[in-house]
Structure formats: C-alpha cells, structure tokens
Amino acid sequence: MRGAGIVRASWAGTVLFGIGTVLGVVAPDQLQWLGFAVSLTLFIAGCAVFVWAFVLAVGRSRTDEIAVSNLYLLSGAPSDVRTQLFGSLAVELVVAIGTAAARPYTIAATAILAPVYGLALCGRWSARYGTFPPRKPTPKRK
C-alpha cells in the first residue's frame, strides 16, 4: 500500500488518543491532564500536517486539478487506504464526542480538537499519493 507510513501514523495517533482520553475520563483526578496533553498534541500536530498537505497540494496544482474536497475526502485514493484513514478518523470522532459528552465543561472536552489529526493525515496522503485529473489549460486572454 502506498503511503503505509501515513496510515500507520493515523492509527498510532488514534490508539494513543483513545487510551489517553479514556484514562482521563475514568480517573479524572489523576489522569485528566494526560487526556488533555494527548488531545492538544494531536491537535497541534494535525495543524502542522494540514499546512504540510496544503503546501504539497499547491505544488501539485500546477499540473493536477485539485479541489479541497477531493484532497481531504480522498476521492483519488484506493478503497483500502480510504477505509483505513476514514476508519481511524471515525474512531477519533467517536472517542472525542463521547468524551465531550461524558465530561462536558471540563478539560476533557478538549478531546473534540484531536480529530484534526486524522483529517489532516487524509489530506497529507492525498496530497502526496492521490490521483487527480490533469489540469485544464487556461484560455489565453486577447
């Protein structure tokens, strides 16, 4: 599978997020800061990966017709990659929403920021390995 490292990074972040967040919810007095630290770290990493994916996509946009929806929704990705990356993102979303619902108005609710990581890795995979139609030539002005 092309981009297997990106897929592995997505699942590694998801597992780390799940463990840190669940521990923070189960034992908030002792471990709420662990869940917060993991969520914040994944959010910051996700923001950085978003920028990285955008820069790669801008470079490819000279020759390929790239839309933001195609970039982050993996329209040019094989089904196995799409399944893995969307699966990881879905788990992150379920954990984030569940955590925010279980502990609203607490530091645990910051878990809702972590899925930025999974979505950013979708964009990163697509920017590097995705297939897009060739760019149409722009008509010359008279």
- Summarize pLDDT for 13-33 with one digit per residue, the tens: 999 999 999 999 999 999 999
Burial class (CB in 10 A: 0-12, 13-18, 19+), 29: exposed
Please give the Cα distance from 138 to 133 (Å, whole number). Answer: 15
Structure tokens at 3: 């981009």
Tell me which of 8-12, 73-77, 85-89, 134-138 is least confident: 134-138
Structure tokens at 75: 């329209």
Structure tokens at 81: 């990659």
**CA distances, 108 to each of 15, 16, 96, 121 (Å):** 17, 15, 9, 23
Element (H, E) at 27: none
Neighbouring CB atoms inside 10 A of 57's CB total: 23
Confidence at residue 1, expressed as pLDDT on a 0 to 100 scale: 85
Helices and strands counted in the chain (H then E): 5, 0
Please give the Cα distance from 74 to 126 (Å, whole number). Answer: 6
Taking the model in full, what pTM does it have?
0.91
The DSSP symbol for 15 reads H
